[in-house]
Structure 1
Amino acid sequence: MILPIVAYGDPILRKVGKEINADYPELKKLIANMKETMYKASGVGLAAPQIGKAIRLFIIDASPFADDEDLDEEERATLKDFNKVFINPKIIEEEGDEWAFSEGCLSIPDIREDVFRQNNVTLEYQDEEFKKHTLTLSGLAARVFQHEYDHIEGILFTDKLSSLKKRLLKKKLENISKGKINADYRMRFPKLKRK
C-alpha cells in the first residue's frame, strides 16, 4: 500500500525515533509498504518518520545512482547492490574529508541544496530478521545512509545549510508546510494552527 509522505513542518519529522524489536506490529507489512511508497515517489531512501512513525527504521535502494557516468566503476557497482533495510542503526564512526552533494528529500519536494557530509561511515544495524551487521560505507552510499539516519534523529538536510540559505528558502519551506506544492506522490501536510 502506498502511504502518504509527511511534509516539512510536521512535528513527527523532528522526533528522535525509538528502537524497535522483533515484536513490532506488522513490521514486514510496514517495510513492504515503505518500499512501495519509496518507489512510487522515485526516492532512493525513506525513513519511518517520513510516513508518520517515530521509530528507528529506514530503507535504502541507491541503485538508480549506479547509472551515473561521473562515478567510478567500483562505486557504481556498490550502489547497484545497495538495497537494504536498516533497523536500529548506530553510527560508530564518520571520517574522511567533507564533500558537497546536491541533496533532496521526499518530505521537502522541489528543493535541492548542496550539503557537506563526511565521506566514510561505519555503522551497526539490524536487518529485517533482526540479525546484527557492521558495515562501512563510502561516497554516495555513505551519504544516502547519513541522510536517512538524520531522519531518525529528527534532523533534516535543510538543518545543515547556512543561515543565508535557510533565509532564502524560508518562503518555499513555509509553502510546503501549508500544502502549497505539487508533488508527484501522495503527501500528508501538517495541521496548521489557526490564529
Structure 2
Amino acid sequence: MTYPVVAYGAPVLRKISQDITPDYPGLKTLIDDMWETMYASYGVGLAAPQINKDIRLFVIDSQQVFENLEEGEKGIYPDAPGVKKVFINAYIESLEGEEWAYNEGCLSIPKIREDVYRPASATISYVDEHFQPHTDTFTGITARIIQHEYDHIEGKLFIDYLKPLRRKMLQGKLNDISKGKVKVDYKMVFPR
C-alpha cells in the first residue's frame, strides 16, 4: 500500500517521535508500505512522520543515488555503492568530519531544494527490522540521507538549517505547500 506523504505544516512533522517495541501492530507491513511509498514518490529516504506516524522509524536507499551518477561523478563519494536499510529507534551517537554542502529536497516539501551543510559522517545506534541492535558509522551521501531522515523523527526539517533571510524568502512557497497549492506526481495529504 502506498501512503500519502504528509505536507509541510502538518503538526506530526514537528513532533519528537516515540520508540517502538517488536510487537508494534503491523510493523512488517508498515515497513513494506514505507518502501513502496518511498519508491513511488521517487525518494531515497522516508521517515514515519512523513506518513503521519510519530514513531522512530525510517528507511533509506542510498544505492539509488549511485546508480544515477554520471560517469565523471563516480568515485567522488566514499560510501559508494550505498546501502538500503531500515532504522528503528535510532539515536545519533556522534557527527564528525568537515561539513559539506549538498542540494537537499524533501518529499514533504516538494519543489524546494536548498544547499544544506551537514557533517561528513554519522555514527548511529538503532535496531533493524528484526530488532537486532547495531551501532554503525556512515559517510558521504548515505550519512547525509540518514541525518535528513533522523531529523524527521526529531521534529526537524531541512529548511531549519537555512539562514533566516532565505527561510523568509521561501515562506510564500512553504505556505502554498501547506495549503495544497503544489503539483506533485505522488499522493500527498495537506494540513489546510
Q: In structure 1, what is the Cα distance between the partners aligned to 2:93 and 2:173?
A: 35
Match for residue 117 of structure 2?
A: 116
Is the CA contact (8 Å cut-off) linking 1:66 and 1:76 kept in structure 2?
no
How many residue pairs get matched?
189
SS of aligned partner of 1:77:
coil
TM-score, normalising length: structure 2? 0.95
Q: CA deviation at 1:73?
A: 7.0
Q: CA deviation at 1:75?
A: 3.3
Matches within 5 A, 1:51-130: 51-67=51-67, 68-69=69-70, 70-72=73-75, 75=78, 77-79=80-82, 82-130=83-131
Q: CA deviation at 1:134?
A: 1.2
Is the CA contact (8 Å cut-off) linking 2:79 and 2:142 kept in structure 1?
no
Name the amino acid aligned to 1:77.
A
Q: Structure 1: any 5+ residue segments left out of the alignment?
A: none
Output the aligned Cα RMSD.
Answer: 1.2
The CA deviation string for residues 29-65 of structure 1, in whole angstroms up to 9 with x for no partner, is 0001111000000100000000000000000011121
Q: In structure 1, what is the Cα distance between the partners aligned to 2:52 and 2:91?
A: 21
Q: CA deviation at 1:74?
A: 6.8
Residue identity (%): 54
Q: 1:179 to 1:92 in 2, by over 3 A?
A: same
Matches within 5 A, 1:132-147: 132-147=133-148
The CA deviation string for residues 75-109 of structure 1, in whole angstroms up to 9 with x for no partner, is 36331xx1000000111110111111000000000
Is the CA contact (8 Å cut-off) linking 2:77 and 2:141 kept in structure 1?
no
Q: In structure 1, what is the Cα distance between the partners aligned to 2:50 and 2:80?
A: 28
Q: In structure 1, what is the Cα distance between the partners aligned to 2:149 and 2:142?
A: 11
Match for residue 189 of structure 2?
A: 188
Is the CA contact (8 Å cut-off) linking 1:16 and 1:152 kept in structure 2?
yes
Name the amino acid aligned to 1:17.
S
The CA deviation string for residues 123-154 of structure 1, in whole angstroms up to 9 with x for no partner, is 11100000001111111110000000000000
Is the CA contact (8 Å cut-off) linking 1:15 and 1:154 kept in structure 2?
yes
Q: CA deviation at 1:122?
A: 0.8
Q: 1:155 to 1:73 in 2, by over 3 A?
A: closer
